[in-house]
Amino acid sequence: MTKILFPLLTLTLSAALTASPAVNAADDPSISTRIVGGTESQAGEWPWMVSIKSAGNHFCGGSLINSQWVLTAAHCMFDGSVQKKPSSITAAVGEYNLNSSPATAASTVSKIYIHPDYDAAAITNDIALIKLQQPISSPVIIDALGSTATINAVSSQSKVTSIGWGSTVGYAYGEVVTPNYPFILRDVELPLQTDTVCESALGKNYTSEMVCAGIANSGKDSCQGDSGGPLVIDDAGTWKQIGIASWGIGCASTTPGAYTRLALYQDWINSTTGAVAVTGSLEYSDTKVSQSTAQIIVIDNNSSSDANLNITKSGSADFSFDSSACTSIDAGDSCSLSISYAPQDETMDTAVITISSDVPGSSPVTRSLTGFPLTDADALAASAGFVEANITWTTNGHSPWELNSGGDYLQSGSISDNQKSLLRAVASGTGRLTFDWAVQSEANYDVLRLYINGEEKQALSGSNSTFQKNYFYLDQAENTLLWSFEKDGNISNLLDQGYLNNVTFEPMSLAEYLIIQAQINNSSSGGGGGGALGWLSILLLPLCFIRRRYKTL
CB-based contact 129:116 (threshold 8 Å): no
Q: How many CB atoms lie within 10 A of CB 134?
A: 10
Closest Cα to residue 473, out of 441, 522, 517, 437? 517
Q: How many CB atoms lie within 10 A of CB 292?
A: 13
Distance CA 313, CA 315 (A): 7
Residue at 355: amino acid letter: I
Q: What are phi and psi of 300, to 5 degrees?
A: -110, 140
CB-based contact 34:223 (threshold 8 Å): yes
Closest Cα to residue 320, out of 344, 342, 295, 340? 340
Distance CA 407, CA 344 (A): 31
**Distances in whole angstroms, Cα of residue 256 to Cα of each of 2, 102, 111, 216, 221:** 20, 37, 33, 6, 7
Maximum pairwise Cα distance, the chain: 72
**Distances in whole angstroms, Cα of residue 184 to Cα of each of 70, 157, 336:** 20, 28, 42
Q: Supply the residues annotated as catalytic.
A: 75, 126, 227
